[in-house]
Amino acid sequence: MSDPFDGLRSFDPGLDPPDTRVIRARAQRIRRRRSVELSAGIAVVLAASVFTVFVKGPDTAERQGSRAAPAPTPAEQLGEVALGEAGGSASVAGSPLPPGPAGGATVTSPTTGSVVVTAGRTSSAQRLRIELELSDERATPGIPAVFRLRVCNDGSAEVAVSFPTGQRYDFEVASGRTGALVWRWGAGRTFTQATGTERFPPGCRLVGEESWNGTDQSGRPVGPGTYLVTGILTSSEPRRSATKTICSVTC
């Protein structure tokens, strides 16, 4: 009896492989994401300990040592997917905080009264909106498009946000057709490895403004079509703006 699936043996979509630079860029993003997850997990453990010491006293902290925040999620889990990254999906609303350890970690500083957000979902973090503004919806050759990133604190109290490095923001441009990242402002730049904190009082504050001249990471003009722009607050738990579309030459 013939094998009914023999017709599949010659099946080959005949696709050209992507430039390995795209693969390598994606690998860097995976590594950064794992590093942030690990840092966030460690930060939660430390924050929980600090919170316990400040609020409940050292004896309670020792008794509750075994009930501290759970260990960080393992960096690599086969089968756990983070697809559609880097603007691959054209979301309408700003993306929520990535899932983190339950309970989050919010500590109110006894000296300044500001709320320090280090990880997890908290009401303070949710009061921060990340807004992306484009100078133009069309990228014209020779005229750079300007991207502006604003952080808006919709609450009534100052919110402090921690950063793992000197970088405060980033901008990404991805192909609207494939979702593949074509340009990132921060690529190839060096930032100080010192952690830091930024304070956001109520209201909006411009945190970054950069221009894009319609080229990919290697300086070549991108092809005509729709591209997806995302602004990122590169805090310890990165926050992404809503994705906006920009048209290169023709759409």
Q: Does 26 engage in binding with another protein (CB under 8 A)? A: yes
Please write down the HEC assignment for all residues of 170-215: EEEEEECCCCCEEEECCCCCCCCCCCEEEEECCEEEEEEEEEECCE
Q: Is residue 24 within the footprint of another protein (CB under 8 A)?
A: yes
Binding region for another protein (CB under 8 A) out of 24-32, 48-56, 115-123, 209-217:
24-32
Q: Tell me if 15 contacts another protein by CB under 8 A.
A: yes
| Contact pick of 59, 66, 67, 78 for another protein (by CB under 8 A) | 78
- Based on CB atoms, which residue is closest to another protein, 81 or 93? 81
Query: Count residues contacting another protein (CB under 8 A)?
Result: 37
Task: Considering the complex, state which of residue 13 and residue 113 has its C-beta at the smaller distance from another protein.
Answer: 13
Site for another protein contains 88 (CB under 8 A): yes
187 touches another protein by CB under 8 A: no
Q: Which of 66, 80, 111, 250 binds another protein (CB under 8 A)?
A: 80
Q: How far is CA 217 from CA 5, 21, 30, 166, in A?
A: 43, 9, 18, 22
CB of 102 to another protein, least distance (A): 20
Among candidate residues 58, 7, 12, 251, the one with its CA nearest the CA of residue 139: 251
Closest CA to 174 of 118, 245, 126: 245
With CA atoms as reference, report the closest residue to 234 among 99, 130, 114. 130
Q: What angle do CA 182, 134, 99 make, to 5 degrees?
A: 65
Q: How far is the C-alpha of 251 from the C-alpha of 248, rounded, in Å?
A: 7
Which of 67, 79, 93, 156 binds another protein (CB under 8 A)? It is 79
Of 116 and 173, the one with the shorter C-beta distance to another protein is 173
Residues pairing with 181 in the sheet: 174
Q: Which residues of this protein are in contact with another protein, per CB under 8 A? A: 1, 3-9, 11-18, 20, 22-24, 26-27, 29-31, 76, 78-84, 88, 178-180
